[in-house]
């Protein structure tokens, strides 16, 4: 279970207060176990935060790289499309394969038809 920020702050405050007022910790629980477990949770939380940052950076890099590669692929597709329209030999079969799966960017529903931008393909969307 991922700890919410408020819960984590509660745990931190509890830990600090058990140091200041150890005599108030319930006799039915072991203070040493609480402190060890808190230390583990704290360390894991720091580690998890680093992983989340790394995950976000990897995802951003994947998106940027994917869109750049898509731009190159779309240049290729557009070249093939124009060549196929001019009946250049060998291009029709390539164009027919590519056009079946060419990605197109989804248009926002809020824009009117007069405001719509030309369709741009996008491989990775945020």
In the chain, domain spans = 5-99
The whole-angstrom separation of Cα 41 and Cα 45 is 6
Length of the chain counted residue by residue? 126
pLDDT in tens, 6-25: 998 999 999 999 999 999 99
pLDDT in tens, 43-62: 998 999 999 999 999 999 99
Q: Which CA distances in Å does 74 have to 79, 88, 120?
A: 8, 19, 9
Q: What is the pTM of this model?
A: 0.55
């Amino acid at each position: 279970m991922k700890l919410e920020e408020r819960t984590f702050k509660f745990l931190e405050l509890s830990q600090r207060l058990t140091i200041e007022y150890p005599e108030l910790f319930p006799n039915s629980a072991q203070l040493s176990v609480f402190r060890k477990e808190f230390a583990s949770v704290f360390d894991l939380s720091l580690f998890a935060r680093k992983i989340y940052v790394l995950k976000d950076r990897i995802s951003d890099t994947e998106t940027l790289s994917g869109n750049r590669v898509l731009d190159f692929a779309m240049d290729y597709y557009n070249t093939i499309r124009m060549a196929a329209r001019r009946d250049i030999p060998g291009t029709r079969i390539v164009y027919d394969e590519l056009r079946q799966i060419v990605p197109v960017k989804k248009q926002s529903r809020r824009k009117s038809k007069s405001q719509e931008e030309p369709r741009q393909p996008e491989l990775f969307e945020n």
